[in-house]
Amino acid sequence: GQLESHLRHALQHEGLSVHYQPLQQLSSGRIAGFEALIRWTSSTLGVVSPASIIPLAEERGLIIPLGEWVLERSLRQIKRWRESMHDEVYVSVNVSALQFSQAGFVATVEGMLADAQLPGSALMLELTESSLVENIESSTQTINALRNLGVRVALDDFGTGYSSLSYLRQLPVDVLKIDRSFVQSIDDGGKAFVRAITTLAHDLRLTVVVEGIEEREQLEMLAELGCDLGQGFLIGRPAQAAEIERHYDLPI
């Protein structure tokens, strides 16, 4: 329909954009990386949220070109920021289940890193549990192949849906992103969960990212609990690259 043809057009004519949200090391305040988040402001439809873009793109066979566009764009951006900000900063890109399970996904990532002249450590990929557990064995192989490139893999929205600790044991991920619902309920039982998940994750040698930090008190409590990285409106809202550059006073 309409929405689909508009999306195709946007994809072909640079009508989409990528916003970046900082991931901050809680112990030092240092910016470790940025999550890339797709944005689309259509001249006819107005702002279309990713929650509609992604399912539509999946349904209409556009998720592969869309996902590749986001990856390419994000890598080009982080290449610049590794020069102007610091040389270990990375970009974290969301990957849909369909994109991840494509044969050739790892080769595509490898090729894009080479084209951008970046090491794998410049990239983190965010996947949800539900997209990985459908076929644990092939997911595990793909994750291992990505990690062999130096690419980090994060389990996004951890603690929502039908998460199971047995999946955590099986999936060789590097990073756990604790869903923002735990922060929102931190004064109301959420703290015990964050503490337990963090202890478990650290025993498994995983890095813990907490999403959805909106208040100073939350940030302090999470730092005390030993969570590694934080993300949320308090630290920084998703913003255009130019805005990030102004905010961190980067040379352009």
Residues that bind ligand G (CB under 6 A): 21, 37-38, 49-51, 54, 70, 94-96, 156-157, 180, 211-214, 231-233, 238
Report which residue's Cβ sits closest to Na ion: 126
Residue from 146, 150, 144, 94 nearest 118 by CA: 150
Query: Is residue 40 within 8 Å of residue 15, measured between CB atoms?
Result: yes
State the binding partner of 236 from Mn ion, ligand G, Na ion, none, CB within 5 to 8 A by kind: none
94 contributes a contact to Na ion by CB under 5 A: yes
C-alpha–C-alpha distance, residues 45 and 132, integer Å: 33
C-alpha–C-alpha distance, residues 171 and 168, integer Å: 5
**Binding-site string for Na ion from residue 117 to residue 146, where x marks contact by CB under 5 A and - marks none:** ---------x--------------------
C-alpha–C-alpha distance, residues 78 and 85, integer Å: 9
* Stretch in the footprint of Na ion (CB under 5 A) among 49-57, 93-101, 165-173, 224-232: 93-101
Work out how close the CB of 84 gets to Mn ion at its nearest, in angstroms, rounded to a whole number: 27
**Binding-site string for Na ion from residue 15 to residue 54, where x marks contact by CB under 5 A and - marks none:** ----------------------------------------
Of residues 73 and 180, the one with the C-beta less far from Mn ion: 180
Of residues 54 and 168, the one with the C-beta less far from ligand G: 54
Binding test (CB under 5 A) with Mn ion, winner from 10, 71, 81, 156: 156
Work out how close the CB of 128 gets to ligand G at its nearest, in angstroms, rounded to a whole number: 8
123's CB contacts (< 8 A; 6+ apart) are 75, 78, 90, 91, 92, 93, 109, 113, 151, 152
Work out how close the CB of 251 gets to ligand G at its nearest, in angstroms, rounded to a whole number: 27
C-alpha–C-alpha distance, residues 119 and 46, integer Å: 37
* Stretch in the footprint of Mn ion (CB under 5 A) among 12-20, 86-94, 153-161, 196-204: 153-161
Which strand (E) or helix (H) includes residue 225?
A: none
Torsion of CA 109, 241, 156, 210, to 10 degrees: 140
35 contributes a contact to Mn ion by CB under 5 A: no
- Number of Cβ within 10 Å of residue 51's Cβ equals 8
State the binding partner of 50 from Na ion, ligand G, Mn ion, none, CB within 5 to 8 A by kind: ligand G
State the binding partner of 238 from Na ion, ligand G, Mn ion, none, CB within 5 to 8 A by kind: ligand G
C-alpha–C-alpha distance, residues 125 and 75, integer Å: 12
Query: What backbone torsions phi and psi does residue 123 show, to the nearest 5 degrees?
Result: -130, 135
167's CB contacts (< 8 A; 6+ apart) are 129, 132, 133, 136
157 contributes a contact to Mn ion by CB under 5 A: yes
Binding site for Mn ion (CB under 5 A): 156-157
